Structure 1
Amino acid sequence: MLKLVRNIFRKMKREVISPVSWNNLRKLQPVSTTFGWDRGTPVDRHYIAAFLDTYRADVRGHVLEIAESSYSKKYGAQVSSFEVLHVQPGAHVTIVGDLTNKASLPADKIDCFICTQTFNFIYDFKTAIEGAHHLLKPGGVLLATLAGATQISAYDQQRWGDYWRFTVQSAEKVFGEIFGKENIEIISYGNVLTCTAILQGISAEELLPEELNYHDPVYPIIIAVRARKA
């Protein structure tokens, strides 16, 4: 019921209360300061969902996420356990550990690690990627997304930091060094219009499918990585 009420409010906000005037975005304040959550689905979340749907066959066996298991449950099939990693104990946390500290992580345990929008909030991101590699079983897969052209997350910045934005080239280099170039696949999602949308906080529902699905490598919102442990 609460979800239905939220969706009705978001629809009213984008269609009645404050519809977007695409012909006049010349202002100093964005349409939304919460990535568009108050209007619908943030554009980056739309692209993350598209990436995970493409590689849903990898989401099986022992599946790990950070802080929760919502994507694991949505895209997983033949999942034997839903694992949750966090630095602090919690109701649903099965692994208490830090990606930048291998000693706190089990080795060769995970078949699929879904790690969305995490490495940009970790200062020592290369060590964190090595930690992800450490967690995976041989043949296990990391499905990671990285922030490209997006605004700073004030929420995360105040709590643990918001340090990095990535490109396809930087992702290829760092993941290739850790997993081996032959074991990684990288996709970028976004174009100049959707970049404008996410910077303004305009939701995916306010764009046409053909606008969302056009990808220009010069304007990546999301860098998505499929990395397999040899």
Structure 2
Amino acid sequence: MLKTVRNIFRKLKRDVVSPVQWDNLRRLQPMSTKFGFDRGTPVDRHYIAAFLEAHRADIHGHVLEIAESSYSKQFGSQVTSFEVLHVQPGTNVTIVGDLTNTASLPANQIDCFICTQTFNFIYDFKTAIAGAWHLLKPGGVLLATLGGATQVSAYDAARWGDYWRFTTQSAEKVFGEIFGKDNVEVTAYGNVLTCTAILQGLAAEELTREELDYQDPVYPIIIAVRARKA
């Protein structure tokens, strides 16, 4: 019921309160500073879901996420345990640890690690990627997404920092150094229109399917990485 009410409010905001005027985006303030959450589905979340949908077959066995297990439950099949990693204990946290400190992490335990929009917020991101490798079983898969052309997250910056934006080249290089270049697949999602939308705080519902599906590697909103531990 609450979800339905929220969706109605978001649609009302999109269509009535502050409809987007695509022919006039010459403005100094964005339509929304909330990445589009207040208008519908953020564009980067649309692409994250598309990436995970394409790799459903990897999401099985012991599946790990950061802070929650929503994607594991949405896209996983034959999952034997839903693991949650966080630096602090919590209700659903099963592994208390820090990706930059392998001594705090179990080794060779995870079949699939879904790590979305996380490495951007870790200053020592290369050590954190090595921490992800450490967690995986041999043959295990990391499904990671990295921020490309997106705004700074004020919420995260105030709490632990918002440090990096990636390209396909930087992702291929750094993940290849840790997992081996033959074990890494990198995909860019986005185009100039969807980049404009996310910077303005517009929602995926304000774009057509054709607009969302068109991919231009020069304008990546997210960089998606599938990395397998050999």
Q: Does 1:159 align with 2:159?
A: yes
The residue aligned with 1:181 is 181
Q: CA RMSD in A?
A: 0.3
The residue aligned with 1:75 is 75
Q: Deviations over 1:63-117 (max 9, x none)?
A: 0000000000000000000000000001100000000000000000000000000
The residue aligned with 1:58 is 58
User: d(CA) in 2 for partners of 1:144 and 1:27?
Assistant: 33
The residue aligned with 2:95 is 95
User: d(CA) in 2 for partners of 1:91 and 1:45?
Assistant: 25
Matches within 5 A, 1:1-230: 1-230=1-230
User: d(CA) in 1 for partners of 2:197 and 2:106?
Assistant: 40
The runs of 5 or more residues in structure 2 that have no matched partner are: none
User: d(CA) in 1 for partners of 2:127 and 2:85?
Assistant: 16
User: d(CA) in 2 for partners of 1:122 and 1:43?
Assistant: 22
Question: What TM-score do the two structures reach when normalised by structure 1?
Answer: 1.00
CA shift for structure 1 position 126: 0.1
User: d(CA) in 1 for partners of 2:181 and 2:130?
Assistant: 15
Question: What TM-score do the two structures reach when normalised by structure 2?
Answer: 1.00
AA matched with 2:7: N
AA matched with 2:153: S
User: d(CA) in 2 for partners of 1:74 and 1:217?
Assistant: 27
CA shift for structure 1 position 216: 0.3
AA matched with 2:194: T
User: d(CA) in 2 for partners of 1:42 and 1:36?
Assistant: 5
User: d(CA) in 1 for partners of 2:50 and 2:76?
Assistant: 14
Matched residue pairs, number?
Answer: 230
AA matched with 2:92: H
AA matched with 2:108: D
Q: Which runs of 4+ in 1 moved over 4 A?
A: none
User: d(CA) in 2 for partners of 1:18 and 1:120?
Assistant: 30
AA matched with 1:44: D
CA shift for structure 1 position 33: 0.4
- Match of 2:171, SS? helix
* Identical aligned residues as a percent: 82
AA matched with 1:27: R
Q: Deviations over 1:14-66 (max 9, x none)?
A: 01111000011101000000001000000000000000000011000000000
AA matched with 2:35: F
